[in-house]
Chain A
């Protein structure tokens, strides 16, 4: 079949009208091909979206079933009010608080490191560093993000803890402090990189507007650049918190496996993720109560991360700055 002419010969007004109508209603062969291509792409896109949605539903389903079985044997009240977590002992207690406290404590320490350092690094890279310096420093910073977390775990256990012990003699071999510090270093590039992207997206004209009013560099950074990129910085921080709460290897290696309820960062504790590792590495029989506990803990972890993500989404929507 020959291709139809791009522009048909046209003479009379009626012919012209006919020609326009034919062209607009897309009756040519190329139109059919284009429409087919569009619908194939559309279904491909829909399919890929569907796969991730289906996976999520699958995960939620598995978690819910096992969690449901768990709560048929252990009351939700106990889970939320008991202050001991001893499912592997003879005298069993199922209070989530020791695991939850440990998780939040180590994440808080990590954020205390990552947030100020990451923000300062982002400001330095985006506002102060020469393009040459930034092109050297940024890749180095990003190498940090590429280090496997197991390496960070042993770095905390074998380097940071002995180092800290010189200043804090009562520090235990496994402790939340060094795990948190190292975790902070691990998520620092995430905070720095995403915040820097947000700051770079602030248009130069806004900076110039402030300079034109007589602002100094520091004033421009603190009063224009940081507020304008706040939504991006908050998004980066919440992502970092999510990452810290879900982090597994560092805490499993350097923080210990002692589920105790304390806010003292110098002693061994056990996070939710570390507990899941501990049980899944052991020989807990499938379907036993001990086995079901990891799903209950996993559900709790999942809910926390979900709430954080929803929060960040709401926050972004409320504070989003849109630039041309």
Chain B
């Protein structure tokens, strides 16, 4: 009788062989282990260990100053840009430690994209050039047809194409706040990241624009792994598959209190602090 596991592996290999070799990467997972972050002597995060599951939305919640933003800024090595900032522990992207020696931080940020709280399209660039801004860093030669294709694909993925297709040459800053934020998402998607980080992407937007971004996040998680920082419990409940709850104590160092599926965090949290926070008793 044949070994069932070997048979399965062979079948997988055969399927992989038969499948078309895809250009676009599919979602990738990350593993955060014993991650601590410092600003000079001040420790902002202490020994965070959690998985970031591929193709899922992980929400990072917690009161102001608990290190949520610092945490996601460690996932694309943006934290170290602050003078005096440093990181210990490891963050692995599909098993590859992004903090190991020899890793180019610029390349990390290509694979782990980011969208910020305030929409920040480059003010001197048109909508079209905003989308291509990142791509042009990584590819010196880009034909007109390729560029057009990337712009359309990214804007479609960010659910902005229909609104801007007739004014691609207009400056990015001419759009509304919600549109600007989706332009920033398109810009991040254009470089084909594996993971997309979002730092309170809707806190500067009105409810309708917020709703559109949330809908977009739903669509994006088919292909991307998403980590989102949010202050809004309802938002986390609506869009997240997993939730990490961070809390800072007296010494203002953020610690991971609880990590679980969104359903369990919001219906049956294990820790009292989590329950207090999501029911509005603290924070």
Contacts and interface: CB of A to CB of B under 8 A. Distances in A.
Given A24-B96, A30-B138, A16 B107 contact: no
Interface residues on B, range: 20 to 34
B72 interface: no
Interface string A1-21: 001001101111100110011
A26 B13 CA distance: 29
Interface in B182-200: 192, 194
B16 A20 contact: no
Contacts of B192: 7
B102 A23 contact: no
A12 B16 CA distance: 7
B95 interface: yes
A170 interface: no
A20 B96 contact: yes
Interface string B5-22: 000000001001101011
A223 interface: no
Contacts of A12: 13, 16
B218 to A, nearest CB: 25
B22 A17 contact: no
Contact of A10 (B22, B96, B98, B110): B22
Interface in B16-32: 16-17, 19, 21-25, 28
Contacts of B21: 9-11
A10 B23 CA distance: 7
Interface residues on A, range: 20 to 34
Contact of A7 (B13, B23, B104, B107): B23
Given A23-B107, A23-B111, A6 B25 contact: no
Interface string B238-267: 000000000000000000000000000000
A142 interface: no
A24 B138 contact: no
A25 B111 CA distance: 12
A20 B111 contact: yes
B40 to A, nearest CB: 16
B94 interface: yes
Contacts of B282: none
Contacts of B139: 6, 30
Interface in B22-61: 22-25, 28
B278 interface: no
B281 interface: no
A217 interface: no
Contacts of A320: none
B153 to A, nearest CB: 13
B140 interface: yes
Interface string B73-108: 000000000000000000001111010001110111
B272 interface: no
A31 B104 contact: yes
Given A3-B141, A16-B94, A21-B96, A10 B104 contact: no
Contacts of B98: 24
Contact of A20 (B19, B28, B102): B28
27 contacts: A3-B140, A6-B138, A6-B139, A7-B24, A7-B192, A11-B16, A11-B21, A12-B16, A13-B94, A16-B28, A17-B94, A20-B93, A21-B96, A23-B110, A24-B96, A24-B98, A24-B107, A25-B102, A25-B103, A25-B104, A25-B107, A26-B102, A26-B106, A30-B139, A30-B140, A31-B104, A35-B104
Given A7-B23, A9-B21, A26-B103, 13 more contacts: A3-B141, A10-B25, A11-B19, A11-B21, A20-B93, A20-B94, A24-B107, A24-B111, A25-B102, A26-B104, A26-B107, A30-B140, A34-B106
